[in-house]
Structure 1
């Protein structure tokens, strides 16, 4: 029952990550709107983040800034880390800071589901609105937004990363001037949300010092939310794991592709049979957690020669291209070159990772509750490469990567191939290596998907409002109906901005 003594906010946001921080910033621009942001991790001041979060060469954080989740790959009972940032800024504080937009073909798929407001010409304006960059063409790049994006120059790359770019071009791929420009099919150094080696997460940018001075914005860290409080199909607040109650006229879940579905399910919104089995009262039977997408990732790793073993900056360059079975215009493969590897595992003190990904996977996983306990990790099932086309494309990506590794331009920096290793030669051996070593890009999406009310997979409407529940909205990567073919962080920020610009 509603607690009349609890402080009432106009908007209560759960999760201060890529989307939640943007929502809190934008919604609090109206001084008459009282906004509360609850973050499960620490809420550092913009200039007080520890190095493991602030410095771009550190990725995946540490145990103090991670939710500690593991996931089943779906292959041979193998489990892997499912890293998620537990800090104000969320996973934008622990990711590789790659700032590449989703592409028009990605959003065309959304439009086919009836989500016409997410057509490319509409989202492009929002991408421009959020961005602050000096790069690219004025017609399609943003100059005045809150999110800084910078193209890394070739001269700033390590010898290994430069060799990757040159070898990829030698192998027959285009050189791309600007991945956030007109053409993306080819190779280039990354655009990053990094300034002076600092990963500019949304806790620093959208929740900068000036924003945090607003008297109508309250940010409270280290608050793990248990569930949404709902009465007569209307949300009126949340309760935390330690029993604190916060009330709001509107509740926005921005807890990410694992956190948001888990909170919904604990609140009684989710698959009826699953909730009943855990003794949770069902408020709305909905396909929450049924459509998890993740980019499968395989690491083709090379030891670098001692004279070329520089490993900073860690994130450097990428090939984005289409497989032999990609639909017209779709770029469904990445080969991403980074130095995110422990150099102590090499003899020369340096390595380069050519990480291969399928960017438009067909295989779907799931997120479920293991119990109603808000401190219990969800059950995450990736079902990686279950669809034959996904495995076919991954094999193709690794073959491209290894071809780059054999190019003459790569030879001056390469000591040896570490994984899968020279002994792996034919498709049978390569498939075995991929299946045994498969990982993920740490890009979970689509567990609370948008769609029309008649769509059997949809949980929320085009603006993130939960179908059938008043005053409850989800705004984060979980509402993507399909995963985008780029690292999804900038697209997640765009989702928050797009919903704010169109529905507030």
Structure 2
């Protein structure tokens, strides 16, 4: 294991995972000089923006909506309302734009809203096309209103997208004598003394003892560690010969956003050789419930190199952001080097298929509007124009991917509920000295990307649990 310093034989807290949540926790917990903190991760610190099946370019730095948090409250998380979390969203952010009631000016994370004139012509054309269809402009998706179209904010410095961990695991933070950062580490499992976590063991057999273990390895990583530790469905663990420590539904409520992308070559008169920001239409499908905004259409320019063409291309990605479908995560084996088996069950319900169909048809209608169509060559890839709904639905089901926003593999809620894995502060049910704090515990995938919501979650747990 590589390390910035020799790890202690025993730590007060070991944090597993150095992404957004783990970086926040390591930074905040080590602010107390008498608390020894060890952060363990394959790569703790700055990392490139996730690509995977997500829209090209930097992801939107958009918060979960008030309606999303209202659903948290309905699930027994009575002090996780929008009013409860808004101060934490403000405190983590520094941005020069937006209203003070919604935005912070001095937090660690630079959230930047590009001016319209800074966007590529095709992105401006996308906004004009949506306005022509009757959608209103939204200047600030993190403000009072999300329904409509506009450029989206990013975590960026001087126009360059950044990973949030950059702003928490700074050189000054890493230099704290009470913080040890171990990079290049694969954590196998949590160690227990009866029902109390006592440390972790890595893939190479190294043991680190701690008074408390916090898993922040993401919706896939944290769930896999729990399962290897004997925390999960008893039947699945028995198949792999893993002794059950706590029989809980880990990995049984996975959610992500299914997304279908059309790619249009840009006309040679408008090459747009670089991807500059992005734009977003956030709206409701005909089958949306109450005040849901269950569809997003994201617009991004693909630079020439990524498009594989002389003139670049334009991607319109239709995403269902309030899916009903629930997937699963299971272990492939006890080997911590093997990835878990993920079944996203994308578009697993008729309603989900109908709603994403509406999103794809909307995206294609936008591409046909005069404000955008003249910038594009007409044929999208993948896809064939002139398909009926059944044919287009089959194309969407075959061509959709997960957006790379997984949540809910160890959901947070009222401990009395059978589907819940952790309580309102991330403590694993029935166990002591073990928390999960990352997108795993979000009780249902929010109607947007998860980055800012995950940072807020970690900031709030750090304040409520560890700030004494």
Q: TM-score, normalised by structure 1?
A: 0.88
Q: CA deviation at 1:179?
A: 0.4
Q: CA deviation at 1:479?
A: 0.0
- Counterpart-to-counterpart distance in 1, 2:73 and 2:306: 48
Residue 202 of structure 2 is aligned to residue 200 of structure 1: no
Q: Cα deviations across residues 375-425 of structure 1 (Å, max 9, x unaligned)? A: 111000011111111111100001111111010101221112223444343
Paired residues of 2:274 and 2:302 also in contact (CA < 8 A): no
Matches within 5 A, 1:8-407: 8-41=10-43, 43=44, 53=48, 59-60=50-51, 96-340=58-302, 343=305, 347-407=309-369
- Counterpart-to-counterpart distance in 2, 1:99 and 1:256: 18
Paired residues of 1:315 and 1:340 also in contact (CA < 8 A): no
Paired residues of 1:303 and 1:346 also in contact (CA < 8 A): no
Q: Cα deviations across residues 315-373 of structure 1 (Å, max 9, x unaligned)? A: 41110111112123211100000124775655542111110001010000000001111
- Counterpart-to-counterpart distance in 2, 1:411 and 1:261: 45
Q: CA deviation at 1:114?
A: 1.0
- Counterpart-to-counterpart distance in 1, 2:105 and 2:366: 35
Mean Cα deviation higher: 200-209 or 296-305? 200-209
Is there any run of 5+ residues in structure 1 with no aligned partner, and where?
A: 61-80, 84-93
- Counterpart-to-counterpart distance in 2, 1:125 and 1:305: 45
Q: Give the SS at the match of 2:260.
A: strand
Q: Cα deviations across residues 77-100 of structure 1 (Å, max 9, x unaligned)? A: xxxx679xxxxxxxxxx9824210
Question: What is residue 415 of structure 1 aligned with on the other side?
Answer: 377
Q: Give the SS at the match of 2:237.
A: helix
Q: Give the SS at the match of 1:161.
A: helix
Q: Cα deviations across residues 155-213 of structure 1 (Å, max 9, x unaligned)? A: 11111111111111111111001000001100111100011243221331011122222
Q: CA deviation at 1:252?
A: 0.2
Mean Cα deviation higher: 403-412 or 341-350? 341-350
Is there any run of 5+ residues in structure 2 with no aligned partner, and where?
A: 1-6
- Counterpart-to-counterpart distance in 2, 1:95 and 1:110: 30
Runs of 4+ in 1 over 6 A off after TM superposition: none
Paired residues of 1:343 and 1:351 also in contact (CA < 8 A): no
Q: 1:344 to 1:182 in 2, by over 3 A?
A: closer
Q: TM-score, normalised by structure 2?
A: 0.94
Q: Give the SS at the match of 1:414.
A: coil
Q: State the superposition RMSD in angstroms.
A: 1.8
- Counterpart-to-counterpart distance in 1, 2:42 and 2:382: 38
Q: Give the SS at the match of 2:99.
A: coil
Paired residues of 1:158 and 1:311 also in contact (CA < 8 A): no
Question: What is residue 453 of structure 1 aligned with on the other side?
Answer: 415
Q: 1:443 to 1:344 in 2, by over 3 A?
A: closer
Paired residues of 1:152 and 1:316 also in contact (CA < 8 A): no
- Counterpart-to-counterpart distance in 2, 1:21 and 1:376: 24
Mean Cα deviation higher: 296-305 or 417-426? 417-426
Question: What is residue 432 of structure 1 aligned with on the other side?
Answer: 394
- Counterpart-to-counterpart distance in 2, 1:324 and 1:188: 21
Q: 1:378 to 1:334 in 2, by over 3 A?
A: same
- Counterpart-to-counterpart distance in 2, 1:346 and 1:219: 40
- Counterpart-to-counterpart distance in 2, 1:339 and 1:227: 42
Q: Number of aligned residue pairs: give it.
A: 459
